[in-house]
Amino acid sequence: MPLNERLMEILCCPACKESLEEKEDRLVCRGCRRAYPIRDGIPVMLIDEATIEGKPQEAE
């Protein structure tokens, strides 16, 4: 189930303060690419729980 739109406007990456993008069962930071898990519909916004996904996309 997708997260509430208003919640997504408020949440930001606790590590770098960039915006987040929802992907399946995680929230991925658009800046540092940390992926925060979503468990039982609740985002776990702890840096220690995050994994780092591939390289950031370069602007063309």
CA distance 38 to 49: 11
Domain count, the chain: 1
Look up the pTM and report it.
Answer: 0.83
CB distance 46 to 25 below 8 Å: no
Amino acid present at 22: E
- CATH of residue 29: 2.20.25.10
Q: For the CA atoms of 19, 23, 27, 33, what is the dihedral angle to 10 degrees?
A: -70
What's the confidence (pLDDT) of residue 3? 85
- What range defines the domain where residue 36 resides? 5-52
Q: Where are the alpha helices (DSSP H) in the chain?
A: 5-10
Residue 19 lies inside a defined structural domain of this protein: yes
What's the confidence (pLDDT) of residue 57? 57
Residue 28 lies inside a defined structural domain of this protein: yes
Residue 14 lies inside a defined structural domain of this protein: yes
What's the confidence (pLDDT) of residue 56? 56
What's the confidence (pLDDT) of residue 54? 81
Residue 36 lies inside a defined structural domain of this protein: yes
pLDDT 10s per residue in the chain (60 long)? Answer: 688 899 999 999 999 999 999 999 999 999 999 999 999 999 999 999 999 998 655 555
